[in-house]
Homo-oligomer: A and B are copies of this chain.
Amino acid sequence: MSRGAYAKGAVKREEILAVALDVVAKSGCRKATSREIAERVGLTQPGLMHYFGSREELYQEVLRARDDSDLAEYYAPNPRFEGFLAVIRHNTEVPGLVQLYAEFAAEASIAGHPAHEFFVQRYAWVRGLLAEAIRRAQEEGEMGPDLDAAEAADLIVAASDGLQVEWLHDPTVDMTRRLTRLWELLRRSSWFESTSGRP
């Protein structure tokens, strides 16, 4: 039954992705070992490598899987800022994910890193998603028409990336509140521009 075999493999993969987050939450991405992840899912370390050829591939897949589910749950069919905020809020309950994202994104920024390209594309994806959300807000009249959506999206993405690292150091940091503040700022400024632009 290849059906069953595939299913089992897929289930095991899911389990590994989830356990990886637990281990990273506890030890951080640098100190997390494939051996510990393997043992926690009842495998040896080489056994784990059968599913993900390398540490980098495993971590990349963790992030990709989360992006996929976030897209389905929070952004589809139309991305909105509220969805983005919901993702951030949800991340608060998955510290391993935030830890992994922060550490791995920084690690992968070095030229030639196996996950470098993944992050470059991911940046483009998130920024595009948010720019779309802003354009939608503009169409609906929530946001002023003269605001540069791409520019505003870039600011929101940068702020939320920075906030997540800060939050890891100090979980009392209220990411949602700060990002909402930025959103209001953009909204006010967007109307200010469109009126002040006329003499």
Q: How far is the CB of A183 from chain B (nearest CB, A)?
A: 11
Which residues of chain A in 63-112 are interfacial with respect to chain B, using CB atoms and an 8 Å cutoff?
99, 102-103, 105-110
CA distance A18 to B131 in the complex (A): 40
CA distance A107 to B30 in the complex (A): 7
| Chain B CB within 8 A of A125 CB | no
User: Which residue of the partner chain B has the closest CB to A186?
Assistant: B185
Q: Kindly supply a per-residue 1/0 record for chain A positions 154-176, scoring 1 wherever the CB is within 8 Å of any chain B CB and 0 otherwise.
A: 11011111110110111000000
User: Which residue of the partner chain B has the closest CB to A177?
Assistant: B151
| Chain B CB within 8 A of A51 CB | no
Which of A6-14, A39-47, A115-123, A132-140 lies on the face that meets chain B?
Answer: A115-123
Instruction: Tell me the interface secondary structure of chain A in the complex.
Output: helix
The answer to whether B169 and A158 touch across the interface, beta carbons within 8 angstroms, is no
The answer to whether B158 and A110 touch across the interface, beta carbons within 8 angstroms, is no
Which residues of chain A in 20-50 are interfacial with respect to chain B, using CB atoms and an 8 Å cutoff?
27-31
The answer to whether B162 and A157 touch across the interface, beta carbons within 8 angstroms, is yes
Contacts of A165 in B (CB 8 A): 105-106, 109, 161
Contacts of A31 in B (CB 8 A): 110
The answer to whether A169 and B123 touch across the interface, beta carbons within 8 angstroms, is yes
Q: Which 5 A-B pairs have the closest CB atoms?
A: A161-B162, A109-B168, A158-B162, A162-B162, A28-B110
Known A28-B113, A110-B168; further 4 A-B contacts with Cβ < 8 A: A155-B178, A161-B162, A162-B163, A188-B192
14 residue pairs A–B, Cβ–Cβ below 8 Å: A28-B110, A28-B113, A99-B109, A103-B106, A105-B165, A108-B169, A109-B165, A116-B169, A123-B166, A123-B169, A158-B162, A158-B163, A158-B178, A160-B162
> A residues bordering B, Cβ < 8 Å?
27-31, 99, 102-103, 105-110, 113, 116, 119-120, 123, 151, 154-155, 157-163, 165-166, 168-170, 178, 181-182, 185-186, 188-189, 192-193
